[in-house]
Structures are given as C-alpha cells and as structure tokens.
Amino acid sequence: MNAHDIDYKIYGDDMQFVEIELDPMETVMAEPGAMMMMDDTIEMNTIFGDGSQQQDGLMGKLFSAGKRVLTGESLFMTAFTNVGNAKKHVAFSAPFPGKIIPVDLTRFQGRLICQKDAFLCAAKGVSIGIEFTKRLGAGFFGGEGFILQKLEGDGMAFIHAGGTLYQRNLSAGESFKVDTGSLVAFTADVDYDVQFVGGIKNTLFGGEGVFYARLQGPGTVWVQSLPFSRLADRVVASAPRIGGKRRGEGSILGGLGDLLDGDNRF
C-alpha cells in the first residue's frame, strides 16, 4: 500500500467536519484553509502539488503543481504530519453546508473523477490530478469546465457535496440525466457525456440550463442537491445593494419595494 492508512470520524449533519486520526509519522493532505483544529504534535507544512509519490524531483513537483493550477486550485497544498509518539488528530471542515463523502479508492479501482472544487483532504500518497473529458462537448458545454479533477491511489480521500447527497449505483447500460452543476463525482468506469436540452421553449424559458450530463453505467455516481454556484447566484440576486444602489432604485416601484421589505431608510 502506497498511501498512508488513516482512520477518520465525521461529525455533524449539515455543517460537517471530518476528524483524521494519525499514527506517528502519518500524513494527511488538505486544501489550504480547510484545517479546523489539530493536536499539539501535528506539524503543518505547505508544499508544492499533492504530496504523492508520483512527484519525485523538481520537475515532478512542478508538474503536480501545474495540474492543480489547471483545475483552478492553488499551487500549494498543506501537509499535516503527526511527529509525536502517540495517535493524534486533525480536523477539516466543509466550506459550505452539505455532506462530506469518505471514499476508499481501493473500492473503485483506485480512481475517482470529481468536480474541481469538491476535494477536501486525502491520505498522503493519493494523487490529485486532472481528468480531460472524452468529448469536446462535455468540456465546452458541461458547466464545470473542460478539466475535471482526478483522485488516484489506494488510500482514503474526502470530497464535499452541497445540500443533500444522493448516491446512485448504475448497472451496465443503465443511464440517467443530471444537471451539470449537481454532479459531484463518479467512478472511472462511468461513461460521461453532455447533451443539449433541446427545444426553443426549453432553452429560453425552462430555467434548467441549456445542457445536462448523461451518465451511463456500470459505476457509481454522487449527486448534490445544492451546488455552491447555484447558492452563490441566489445570494447575489437577493443582495440588497449592488454597486452602492438598491436593486430597483430609480424605478416606479423602488420606494414601495423598500417599504414592503422593511427597509425605510431614505
């Protein structure tokens, strides 16, 4: 086994965090800023790339860091190592409400494909790289960019999904359609494509986007009920002021709207 054999426990319901138990000299890798708390003999180091054994040498580290830049992530990751003589703990929190998904990569042929911002942490030795989609349509119109994130190795990895998590195990030839933003992750044996919704009315007035993802088994798929992009769009749309002005300011109903929503500051 190449990756460190870590133990874990997940706390919470909708605002979860995962506590990793490290034996002496065991290491867990995490996204910068994910750490919530750690014991006193846990040593933190910022490194290039993902810390896997696949990045030996300067060029290997640069290539590993470059892969992370392509997925929109930081050049760096943070390594947490237990330098003490007893078991110690470090905890990582989810960035927004949802569920943390523990994935034992040995159960999925050592490979998982996920959204570029889904990864939270993993045992040292797990490689966090890039996955080019098989079809150009999936890349240009998928809503998640041309490059997805790929987790490879034989250790534990933890990814995060927004809202409620749904896991579906597809049999051979079975397929279903998912909103592209709601797709969290899928195993490497799942066939993934992006298709046009079709129809002028559906495209212009359907409100569900122009494209959806079609996934065909065999394999496992994870879906989230609340993509962060959707949550962010709703927050921006509900913001009381944009550019220093209230939405609707200057319109006929602007003042009336202020009174109705409780804002009577003139």
Domains and CATH numbers, the chain: 7-231 (3.60.160.10)
pLDDT digits (tens, 9 = 90+) for 18-57: 999 999 999 999 988 899 999 999 999 988 766 665 445 5
pLDDT at 240: 67
pLDDT at 260: 41
**Bridge partners, 99 (sequence order):** 161
Residue 250 has pLDDT above 50, yes or no: no
Return the structure tokens found at 36.
């919530």
Return the structure tokens found at 30.
């995490």
Sign of CA dihedral 18, 39, 26, 31: positive
pLDDT at 95: 84
Residue 147 has pLDDT above 90, yes or no: no
CA dihedral defined by 76, 59, 108, 8, rounded to 10 degrees?
A: -40
Residue predicted with more confidence, 249 or 168: 168
pLDDT at 262: 46
pLDDT at 132: 65
What number is the average pLDDT over the span 212-231?
86
pTM value surpassing 0.85:
no
> Mean pLDDT across the chain, nearest whole number?
77
